[in-house]
Amino acid sequence: MNKQPHLPTPDESRRHYRVPEGYFDSLEERIMAHLPEETSAEEPAAPSVSLWTRLRPIAYLAAMFVTMNLIFRAFSPHASQEKATVTAQAEQSSEDDYATYYADYGERMTAVAGYDSYYDQLLSDLTPSTR
């Protein structure tokens, strides 16, 4: 185990940490001599902030959103084409649905007319004839 070399005695240590005579007596005067004298009691005007400095965070935020939008469009170029295809298919299927509905409606109306004549004939057969 290594021992430390000769350590100073307490008396030797105190010699290094002494304050010169009269140091604190003239301390305030020396500090005041280094301070600049006050010429006016007015506070300095606040520096003016330019319009660009105020709008810069908003401009950066807008640029970030535009960039993200372009990145999403760059990595999914077929999204708009797929959307157009789905829309076209939906329009085609709705046209087919309307055509089918109107065809069924026409058949039902024709069938109802036929049923009306059939029921009229049945009713006439059931009623006693008064001839």
**Which pLDDT score is estimated for 103?**
79
Residue 108 lies in a domain: yes
Residue 119 lies in a domain: yes
Residue 41 lies in a domain: no
Residue 121 lies in a domain: yes
The count of other CB atoms within 10 Å of the CB of residue 122 is 10
**Which pLDDT score is estimated for 22?**
85
What are 18-52's pLDDT values in tens digits? Answer: 788 888 898 999 999 998 887 666 666 788 889 99
Residue 1 lies in a domain: no
pTM recorded for the entire structure: 0.29
**Which pLDDT score is estimated for 75?**
84
Look up the domain containing 120 and give its range.
101-126
DSSP codes joined into one string, the chain? -PPP-PPPPHHHHHHHT-PPTTTTTSHHHHHHHHSPPP--SSPPPPPPPPHHHHHHHHHHHHHHHHHHHHHHHHH-TTHHHHHHHHHHHHHHHHHHHHHHHHHHHHHHHHHHHHHHHHHHHHHHHHSPP--
**Which pLDDT score is estimated for 68?**
95
Query: How many angstroms separate the CA atoms of 71 and 34, rounded?
Result: 60
| Domains in the chain, number | 1
What are 74-87's pLDDT values in tens digits? Answer: 887 676 666 777 77
